[in-house]
Amino acid sequence: MAIDPSPAVKAPVGEPQPFVRLMTVCCLVTFGCYFAVFMRLPVVPLYARELGISIAEIGVINAAFFLMAGLLSIPMGMVSDCYGSRPVAASGVLILAVSACLLNFSTTFVRLAGVYLMFGAGIAAFGPTMMALVARIAPATHLGRAYGWYTTALFGAMSLGPALGGYMAGVVGFLAVFLSIAIVLLCDLAGLLLFLPGQTADDGDRSARPPVGPTVRALFGNRPVMGCWLVTLGACFGLGMFMSFIPLHARVQGLDAGQIGLIFFAQGLANGLSRIPFGYLSDKVGRRSILVLIGMLGFAVSLIGLGAAAHRVAFILWALVSGASLGLAFTSVGALIAASVAANARGLAMGGYNTCIYFGMMISSLFMGAVIEVIGFKAGFYVTALINLVFSGIFGLIVNRDRS
């Protein structure tokens, strides 16, 4: 049962601003934040290995980030519903900048895990807040394309960031990369404070908000939302495998830091660019759940291919398939969630969505590091593909029963 899907607000209080202008601000701010944060992806695992940290411990470090991000995403989504987008998103970017600075002083497993907990807190404040803001400013007829453009900016940043981070690590070293991340984030914070609207019409009418308890209970009784959360959890178990262990798998196969950055670039580029056409397709197709299932099947196949990859070209080709498949699935998931909840619950709904993203990647990082040490990278990717398919099947049973 879907909660009253009220039309989204198109302008902030006090000064009418067109949808396109607000979407542009959201996309640019999000691009800057994720570009900086994802510069660290191919760098920190290699940095940790040089410090003598084991593969299993690197998995725990990544899991620390995902744990904190997952725990805080729902609460921070609720905070953004109550107090507006700009202060919550700005606090997240500031925490991320401080975390990047602290990487320069993190030379042990414990210190790296602690800094990654801070990274998780920062991204939990930023991610759900911005996703909910997109739902608030987009007309109901444009949800698919709005999330297509927004996530194109997000995943474009996620592709370019690792490519630049990997290149810089090979040229100027790890510590220079960490300092650069902090500088980019501080510049992004300035842009956020200057150009992001301080309040939307939804934010301003707090007296009309229902109590939190009934809103939460109604959301957890919403079958489309629960199905979307579950499939996101399963897919991000696979995404966590990619993010945490592709650098180490590829290094074993003889690839250097720059080439590993190209793998992330290919995955993120395909993920980002595919979301614009897939967003428009999502608005045209009556049953977005079918698009989700097709995307998840493609992602499972790509995980098998990545596990079997033994040279640079194979890694890049399967990364492209992985990115395009996730672009199809997640664009439809975001629009399906936004269309299934009331405007005053979107921060909470997107918080739950982000929680599933981070918990999925956390479980993967925490569990698969130890598994890989026993069965190897190839079999580890095969197991991950099977888990992805199981969650996709559960999603199909739950959501298609409602003919979403």
Give residue for tokens 């992806």. Answer: 41
Neighbour count for residue 281 (Cβ, 10 Å): 17
Residue 303 is which amino acid? L
Tell me which DSSP letter residue 355 carries.
H
Q: pLDDT band for position 338 (50/70/90)? A: confident
Close Cβ partners of 300 (under 8 Å, ≥ 6 residues apart): 238, 385, 386, 388, 389, 392
- Average pLDDT rounded to a whole number, residues 192-204: 65
Q: CA 337, 342, 346, 348: dihedral to nearest 10 degrees?
A: -100
pLDDT for the residue numbered 276:
77
How many whole angstroms from its chain centre is CA 230?
Answer: 15
Tell me which DSSP letter residue 51 carries.
T
Q: CA-based angle 293:340:121, to the nearest 5? A: 85
pLDDT for the residue numbered 286:
67
**Distance, CA of 327 to CA of 148 (rounded, Å):** 9
Helix 85-103 to helix 174-195 angle (10° resolution) is 170
- Joined together, the tokens standing for residue 3 give 């909660």
Q: pLDDT band for position 389 (50/70/90)? A: very high
Domains, in order of start, for the chain:
19-203+211-402 (1.20.1250.20)
Give residue for tokens 């939460």. Answer: 216
How is 112-135 classified by DSSP, letter by letter? HHHHHHHHHHHHHHHHHHHHHHHH
pLDDT in tens, 356-377: 887 887 788 778 888 888 999 9
- Average pLDDT rounded to a whole number, residues 59-88: 82
Cβ atoms of residues 33 and 96 within 8 Å = yes
Strand partners, 12: 200
Residue 154 has pLDDT above 70, yes or no: yes
- Average pLDDT rounded to a whole number, residues 34-58: 87
pLDDT for the residue numbered 5:
38
In the three-class reduction of DSSP (H, G, I as helix; E, B as strand; rest coil), residue 39 is classed as coil
In the three-class reduction of DSSP (H, G, I as helix; E, B as strand; rest coil), residue 216 is classed as helix
**Distance, CA of 132 to CA of 219 (rounded, Å):** 15
Residue 186 has pLDDT above 90, yes or no: yes
pLDDT in tens, 109-132: 999 999 999 999 999 999 888 887
**Distance, CA of 249 to CA of 255 (rounded, Å):** 9
**Distance, CA of 215 to CA of 218 (rounded, Å):** 5
